Structure 1
Amino acid sequence: MLRGDWLRRASTVATGSWRVLALHGLVARRRGDSTATDAGRAMGQAAKVLQLFKTLHRTRQQVFKNDVRALEAARIKINEEFKRNISETSPKKIEELMKIGSDVELLLRTSVIQGIHTDNNTLKLVPRKDLLIENVPYCDAPIQKQ
């Protein structure tokens, strides 16, 4: 199996309702380019895309730990988005898609909290260390307008 074919297969994946990136176009462009710098840049970008893909899946596993349904739904969405953009060759568009994917990963890691049903109408929240929590005291009394 050629290295390019391996990269193409390894990259056929995506980010949820989030736009995503494609190594296939980068590998194809690399094969057609005559300059080593373009090939090097394409391979560097391809590695970043693959790294983002892996990071999204690791974050998915942490955020939705022990929730089979949510884990599967997130996996399908991530893979779908990467596949949708597999033929993208424009470096600017790929950078834009990578930015969106990175933002989604950050949002998942810092803003999504897992809740587990315990009794009727009761949820147990499972906070993680990466979760952003505003430590503002709750005020039960309504604020008076002046």
Structure 2
Amino acid sequence: MRRLLIAALVVGGFTQAAEAKRAECFVADRHDRSQKLMSFEVDDDSYPHILNINGVDEGATPAKVIDIQLYDKANGQFETWYLSQVERSVDRQRSIYRMHFGEMRFDTREVDDRSNYTLYMDWEHGKAGWLDEDTAFNVFDTVEEKPNLVVWPASCKRLD
């Protein structure tokens, strides 16, 4: 009986570890694949799910790579690029993260979402796809029906 209980705990521990979904991702610039657009970590268990973001500040000239923080209204600064929110949904083995980026508005101190991206993480097969919503339109739910037509690969390495 004791051995059976120990075996159940060990198997339960492996099952729980397999379900903890974490990854480290890199997304190349769509015009020059040798340059980085963004890198970040994904943690499916804790909000905002997208952590340690380092990406191109689209408002900067010339473009510079910066650490992008989750927006905090109390500490927000003007002319700073922020992640305002992340929406997460699940489709079978895929986790879908819709990320909103922008700058703080002067009048409301809310983030004006100027750039939206969607990450499709296929945890079972270890693949990821990236959609820049500013350059692709999701007409007739094409992204959900045929994601390989409008989504380019993101390089993700599982951490679990």
Which TM-score applies when normalising by structure 2? Answer: 0.28
Higher Rg: 1
- Asked which structure has the greater RCO (Cα within 8 Å, sep 6+), the reply is 1
Which TM-score applies when normalising by structure 1? Answer: 0.30
Between structures 1 and 2, the one with greater strand share: 2
